[in-house]
Amino acid sequence: MIPSSSQTVGPFFKYALERPTWSDLTTDGARGERVRIAGRVLDGDGAPVPDALLEVWQANADGKYAHEADTQDKPGDPNFRGFGRACVDDDGRYAFTTVVPGSVPDASGAPQAPHVNVSIFARGLLRRLVTRVYFDDREDENARDGVLRSIADASARASLVAAREDATGELPTYRFNIILQGENETAFLDV
């Protein structure tokens, strides 16, 4: 018997799951400050991961999720989906158009800093990776956030904070690169 090499699952994400309009969570006129979250998905050597797929889930501008399990007494926004999906291009680039989310409570009821939940799927990953995007211009809220405070390593904590860039286009952009491993690896959550 001659052993055969193993193979990873995929890449099939772009072919099977790409929905270009799903990267804009605001198409129906959502309330709140519209922004772009953009960046690249990179491997441990800094090379682009051209077949990654990202999904985001977040609260609306008032801090309410578009889900029946969110029973907070906050206004919903029928024009905001709260969910988005983007495939990266050949250079590992992605972008979402969304709104800055309002604060939501954690399990104990303490307010969390505005954030966007991100799932990463890519060739070689048998399970999705999960991280969060926080906003660098929300320093006070970030300093009180339980998830950020639970990360002892300052560089790992900083890997979750997107940097706001000067608006050169229609919308302000927050730069958030996802580095899958190695030096400057993005902090991933065990969920």
Mean pLDDT in each 10-residue stretch from start to end of the chain (191 residues)?
A: 53 53 87 96 94 95 94 94 94 97 95 98 89 97 97 97 85 96 94 84
In a domain, 145, yes or no: yes
Residue at token pair 């890519």: 122
In a domain, 186, yes or no: no
Within 8 A by CB and 6+ apart from 37, the residues are 56, 95, 96, 98, 116, 133, 162, 173, 174, 176
In a domain, 51, yes or no: yes
Give the pair of three-digit tokens for residue 110.
């303490």
Q: Report CA 118 to chain centroid distance, whole Å.
A: 3
CATH of the domain at 24: 2.60.130.10
Range of the domain at 138: 13-179
Q: Which of 53, 55, 42 is nearest to 91 (CA)?
A: 42
Residue pair 73/120 in contact by the 8 Å Cβ criterion? no
State the pLDDT at residue 161: 98
Q: Which of 59, 123, 51, 136 is nearest to 86 (CA)?
A: 51
In a domain, 93, yes or no: yes
Q: Where are the alpha helices (DSSP H) in 1-93?
A: 13-17
For the chain, how many structural domains are there in total?
Answer: 1
In a domain, 1, yes or no: no
In a domain, 6, yes or no: no
Work out whether the CA dihedral 137, 142, 143, 148 comes out positive or negative.
Answer: negative
State the pLDDT at residue 155: 96
Rounded Cα gap, residues 41 and 148, in angstroms: 21
In a domain, 120, yes or no: yes
DSSP secondary structure of 155-180: HHHHTTEEEEEP--SSS-EEE--EE-
Q: Report CA 32 to chain centroid distance, whole Å.
A: 18
Helix (H/G/I), strand (E/B), else coil: 6: coil
In a domain, 184, yes or no: no
Rounded Cα gap, residues 71 and 50, in angstroms: 39
